[in-house]
Structure 1
Amino acid sequence: MYQFEGPCMSDTILEARNLTKSFGGFVAVNGVDLSIARGAIHAIIGPNGAGKTTMFNLLTKFITPTSGEILFNGKDITRRKPAEIANMGIVRSFQISAVFPHLTALENVRLSLQKSLGVSYQFWRSTKVLHELDAQAIARLDQVGLADYAHLKAVELPYGRKRALEIATTLGLEPELMLLDEPTQGMGTEDVGAVTELIGRVREGRTIVMVEHNLGVVAELADTITVLARGEVLAEGTYDQVSKNPAVMEAYMGVSAEEQEAGA
């Protein structure tokens, strides 16, 4: 696991304190405390309606909490905007692949790398300036197994490779913290395996938080799992710990602790 040097660097990179989000009279997230360890893969799971998506959108600043705090590297980001936290090193993905379909894989990654030139994102920058980023873009594509697809338009890529391209563009922003929203959503078995392996490979030097419905992926990747139910933390721990938790089994399968004992 990646280690940050320096005695002042906390082991916690992202923290939520008593985080609550209400929509009218409906409380989607209710008093959640969450601590993300630096260098870890931390999964947020739960049955339908558990509040996973709302929690993810709170952490990535796409919605503002009703109450509570969010800290990144010890700094309060509760009222920051998504663009602000992206500049701080927090970058998210989406359930639907968010790449430019009619640009090539190389052009997509090259756009994400413009930040390294100290310029704003401009499609009309000179070809000479943009080509300065080609080597870095190819390196990012190679990192996710797409170097051979550099000159193929994103729309022409199979779904699994399109998600890999999205991860490559995310890496181009040099994130310290990556938040992945359902990274294997809608994939076949082969693509799920490839993307799972990819996430495990790119974790070096960064922290990953992911919302993921595929428990096989969670079991393989996650160091820590937070289980939400009805907007609250139901359980937290390793996969072995939470998968054997009677409350988690009841939330997922509707089987009470008494019924579990009777069926044992």
Structure 2
Amino acid sequence: MNDTILEARNLTKNFGGFVAVNGVDLRIKRGSIHAIIGPNGAGKTTMFNLLTKFITPSSGKILFNDTDITNKKPAEIANMGVVRSFQISAVFPHLTVLENVRLALQRGLGVSYHFWRSKAMLHNLDAQAMAQLERVGLADYAELRAVELPYGRKRALEIATTLGLEPELMLLDEPTQGMGTEDVGTVTDLIGRVREGRTIVMVEHNLGVVAHLADTITVLARGEVLAEGPYEVVSKNPQVMEAYMGVSADEQEETV
């Protein structure tokens, strides 16, 4: 089996005369956690939306498991095993935590849109939903409405519902955005636990999270790949320090 699960070839996206992503080549290794980072305006969000098919590239190609998905829609690639999260927690606030996960599990029954069927049939999914909640540390919150969860727990619930779709490739958009230190630690540990058997691509601003989780980091600047590699290598790259951290090459020399 090819060890590359997702590949972008010369990916470019223009918005009028503005080039947001410019000729990016990207290879995501199967079973890895791959982080995409960069300063504001680097093209991270555009790149993420291209990979998850929420926008279409101006040119270039995207392959998932060697299949061209460049012109497919988000629902189509979700059925293939590519599932994303969003920066804003996307759960049903007035359903219970258990009900949120159970809705995601309906996809496996092939009844996702059969709202006229008896609710009782969904209780067959309760044990499976509880297993997912145990996995993400939310079993004690099963009967609580999602709106009542603390913010960090809502993010954990979103990851649980994403896992309910049984993704082969999970893409996380700023999973720790807006969190306090404790919640960041909780969600970071959670991502580390659920990585088994799947590949994760994440856009993340918190370098501590990236350093802890990522096997490979791609740094974008002005829509192009500035550097790529493990954190130990990327974090010492002079161009990265200047573009991402605002430290010039001269300043770096002065601190040595």
In 2, the alpha carbon distance for the partners of 1:130 and 1:148 equals 20
Q: Which moves more between the two structures, 193-202 or 111-120?
A: 111-120
Alpha-carbon contact 2:102-2:125 (below 8 Å) kept: yes
Identity of aligned residues (%): 85
Alpha-carbon contact 1:180-1:209 (below 8 Å) kept: yes
Shift of 1:255: 2.8
The two structures have a TM-score, normalised by structure 1, of 0.95
Cα deviation 1:94-144 (Å, max 9, x = unaligned): 000000000001110000001111223344431221001000000011100
In 1, the alpha carbon distance for the partners of 2:116 and 2:132 equals 22
Q: Which residue of 2 is the match for residue 4 of structure 1?
A: none
Alpha-carbon contact 1:111-1:121 (below 8 Å) kept: no
Alpha-carbon contact 2:103-2:112 (below 8 Å) kept: no
Q: In the alignment, is residue 235 of structure 1 matched against residue 227 of structure 2?
A: yes
How many residues are treated as equivalent by the alignment?
A: 256
In 2, the alpha carbon distance for the partners of 1:61 and 1:27 equals 18
Listed as ranges, the matches of 1:115-264 within 5 Å are 115-264=107-256
In 2, the alpha carbon distance for the partners of 1:178 and 1:168 equals 12
Cα deviation 1:15-54 (Å, max 9, x = unaligned): 0000000000000000000000000000000000000000
In 1, the alpha carbon distance for the partners of 2:7 and 2:186 equals 30
In 1, the alpha carbon distance for the partners of 2:186 and 2:114 equals 32
Q: What letter is aligned with 1:29?
A: V
In 2, the alpha carbon distance for the partners of 1:255 and 1:217 equals 21
Q: What letter is aligned with 1:191?
A: D
Q: Which 4+ residue blocks in structure 1 deviate beyond 4 angstroms?
A: none
In 2, the alpha carbon distance for the partners of 1:147 and 1:99 equals 16
Residue from 25, 31, 36 that aligns with 2:23: 31
Q: Which ranges of structure 1 fall in alignment gaps of 5 or more residues? A: 1-8
Q: Which ranges of structure 2 fall in alignment gaps of 5 or more residues? A: none
Residue from 68, 72, 77 that aligns with 2:69: 77
In 1, the alpha carbon distance for the partners of 2:40 and 2:137 equals 33
Residue from 74, 80, 96 that aligns with 1:88: 80
Alpha-carbon contact 1:225-1:242 (below 8 Å) kept: yes
Q: Which residue of 1 is the match for residue 54 of structure 2?
A: 62
Q: Secondary structure at the match of 2:176?
A: coil
Cα deviation 1:127-181 (Å, max 9, x = unaligned): 2210010000000111000011111000000000000000000000000000000
Q: What letter is aligned with 2:183?
A: D
Q: Which moves more between the two structures, 116-125 or 166-175?
A: 116-125
Shift of 1:192: 0.2
In 1, the alpha carbon distance for the partners of 2:194 and 2:28 equals 18
Alpha-carbon contact 1:16-1:34 (below 8 Å) kept: yes
Q: Secondary structure at the match of 1:132?
A: helix
The two structures have a TM-score, normalised by structure 2, of 0.98
Q: Secondary structure at the match of 1:133?
A: helix
Q: Which residue of 2 is the match for residue 52 of structure 1?
A: 44
Q: What letter is aligned with 2:251?
A: E
